[in-house]
Chains A and B, each alone.
Chain A
């Protein structure tokens, strides 16, 4: 994987499962009739006896994962984000998280970049749904490098977690020496006028925006907040104190996701003006991913605008 390579995080996920399958004999993987799309099929091929095809039955998928985890397995349960976190939300809450079982809900096809399938399949609410569950770790990798590392980190972490993955190919933004740590944000670019805190595919857009802002004399810090929960409050508060303004960016409803998590922290400890780049509390629609990102205000240009706007309030 080299910087700039176009790889979907779901592809990196399938490969990572297969890569770590031998090292982790307790790893089991479950899917709900989407193993070709979620890429768990790559693991299924390598370790067929540790793969469980559940059919079109997401609630059963999560419940079975809970049972396997109760018996000491590390269960990765995959389907599309909307069905994992939506259809099976209460199974995740009660059977998995409340019991504190070692289940990783690893869902693909999150966000608008699902594209042509349209609103019914575009989960712009999943981070909120998972974040609100007590004890749930929520990870949104930005690229293939971070995805592979997140899979490894979650294998080593004993507890329930949500891993949010995408359908579309996205550029690799990290070098191979990047180090993902659960609960730790990474500052990708220094800056003191404003901080852009992003996750997932918006990290790349944030870096592009910072580049553009620099040309206009605005120094923007860029932080990759790949763990939404537990939130790296230290990084958020450093941003608030040192730059005095924050813009959050996520491929998710601006209600309940990364922006809300950051705002909850800032408001409690060190209030600064904030702006939220994300889906503005509406459903998506069919279209190619790039067109949708433009139409819903999720481009580098939108981040630049939000930064200029928040600087007015500083």
Chain B
């Protein structure tokens, strides 16, 4: 299957599962779809039939509320039966509201509290180096998320330790819950901030699969330094009434909206 087609199928699954759950986070899942698709279907070495394969690359979804995009990708890749997606957020489901590594095959670490993931990714990267292992660590952060102080503590650690086996992506959709990241906390010049912290920085269109792959290859070729790829994205990408709307951060579509969203996504996927 073409990567582009895969991404649109993942978007459909995101909307379907959030619709079925009646709650959840569509906006930041749709903005991150190409990043996650490129990782699971092109960049990462992994084996859905053997989630614990020691040589697998590791993915940390720091912005854990975007669980739907991760679950959709894992289901598409074959980690579990896609029928499970309809149990999202329901009592007893393997698919918790935020990623729980104990329940979901393929989920590396449990996240949901923003700002903690990059430190965990650093730990994974340090361990890989310590063990002389070749796998890589990929981390996906929200732009609102990087307002957390811990992110910058982790940014310092990664640079200080020269974690060149780590690539971080920032889903730069410019929105958080209470509005625009620039209005909420004056968050501008994101690339310059990471550069100042000693990271190798690239800025790309986060919906361009080829650009994500090229930038990642470039990032992996960097030595002695961690890499961040600032991905310019649109929150709610693919569903016109969700695009650029902070309001669609954390709510489910009603039946009518669900049907319309799916119609739009199916058309785009062709």
Contacts and interface: CB of A to CB of B under 8 A. Distances in A.
Interface of A: 31, 33-37, 41, 53-57, 59-60, 82-83, 86-87, 115-121, 285-288, 291-292, 295
A81 to B, nearest CB: 12
B90 A287 contact: yes
B96 A57 contact: no
Interface string B88-100: 0111110111101
A288 B178 CA distance: 25
Given A287-B91, A287-B92, A291-B91, A121 B148 contact: no
A41 B92 CA distance: 34
B145 interface: yes
B262 interface: no
Given A116-B24, A116-B89, A118-B100, A55 B147 contact: yes
A191 B112 CA distance: 45
B115 interface: yes
Give the size category of B's interface with A: 20 to 34
Given A120-B64, A295-B91, A57 B185 contact: yes
B49 to A, nearest CB: 26
B141 to A, nearest CB: 11
A31 B93 CA distance: 32
Contact of A56 (B95, B110, B112, B148): B148
Nearest to B177: A33
A292 B91 contact: yes
Nearest to B252: A116
A120 B111 contact: yes
Interface of B: 21-24, 64, 89-93, 95-98, 100, 110-115, 144-145, 147-149, 176-178, 181, 184-185, 187
A286 B91 contact: yes
Contacts, number: 93
Nearest to B183: A53
A83 B187 CA distance: 21
B91 A288 contact: yes
Most chain B CB within a 10 A radius of its CB, from A87, A117, A292: A117
Contacts of A292: 91
A116 B184 contact: no
Nearest to A290: B91
Contact of B144 (A33, A82, A120, A285): A33
Given A55-B147, A56-B148, A286-B89, A119 B100 contact: yes
Given A54-B185, A117-B112, A120-B64, 19 more contacts: A33-B184, A34-B177, A36-B177, A53-B178, A55-B147, A55-B181, A56-B114, A56-B176, A57-B147, A116-B89, A117-B97, A118-B89, A120-B100, A120-B110, A120-B111, A121-B98, A285-B91, A287-B91, A287-B92
B147 A119 contact: no
A82 B23 CA distance: 20
B26 to A, nearest CB: 14
Most chain B CB within a 10 A radius of its CB, from A57, A60, A291: A57
A62 to B, nearest CB: 12
Query: Which 8 A/B pairs are nearest by Cβ-Cβ distance?
Result: A120-B112, A287-B91, A55-B185, A118-B97, A116-B89, A55-B147, A117-B97, A118-B96
A219 to B, nearest CB: 36
A33 B148 CA distance: 11
A34 B147 contact: no
A223 B259 CA distance: 50
Given A120-B112, A291-B91, A57 B97 contact: no
A303 to B, nearest CB: 22
Contacts of B113: 82-83, 86-87, 120
Contacts of A54: 185
Contacts of A35: 178
A105 to B, nearest CB: 17
A165 to B, nearest CB: 18
